Amino acid sequence: MKAAYILNFIQFVEWPTDSPGGAKDWSLCVSAFSPLVRPLHALHGKEAPNGQQVRVRLFDPGNAQECRMLVLQGTDLERPTQQLLHGRRGVLTLSDDPTALRAGVMIGLVEQGGRIVFDVDNTAANRAGLTISSRLLRLARTVR
């Protein structure tokens, strides 16, 4: 279910024209440590709302410049990776790790009462040149 949320987030975020990734592909990179690796790989080849094909890759700090969305977890949220990603233009970061928003991730997914809810750090998204739709912000549990 979280993978479906992540795919839908794509349509509610406006990326700058100089965003990373190729013109034909929409690159989603996921941490090898994330429990979402398998569900997200099921999105590989699906069509993104803008007509591009979703390409799912394992996250590696060396390939971060190719990713439009990074799904991070655990050790990815530690200081060296944070420094690499902080303010990275055109890259949306998200996680289902409860500490993620404190680490600078833009969207945090959590389960609450049997439902999936999310929190948004809109300030971090704006620093990266991303505009999150007001429709998505209204659905968020909290917005910073």
Q: What is the pLDDT of residues 6-22, one digit of tens each?
A: 888 988 999 887 766 55
Q: Please report the pLDDT score of residue 52 as a whole number.
A: 83
List of domains in the chain: 2-143 (3.40.50)
Q: Please report the pLDDT score of residue 119 as a whole number.
A: 95
Percentage helix, strand, coil, to 5, in the chain?
35, 25, 40
Q: How far is CA 92 from CA 108, 113, 114, 129, in A?
A: 11, 26, 26, 10
pTM: 0.86
Q: Please report the pLDDT score of residue 96 as a whole number.
A: 85
Question: What is the rounded average pLDDT of the residues 17-39?
Answer: 79
Cβ partners under 8 Å of residue 60, min gap 6: 29
- Could you tell me how many helices (H) and strands (E) the chain has, helices first? 5, 9
Nearest to 41 by CA among 53, 50, 30, 33: 30
Dist. CA 85–CA 1, nearest whole Å: 26
Question: What is the rounded average pLDDT of the residues 23-35?
Answer: 82
pLDDT band at residue 1, thresholds of 50, 70 and 90?
confident
* Tokens found for residue 115: 């439902």
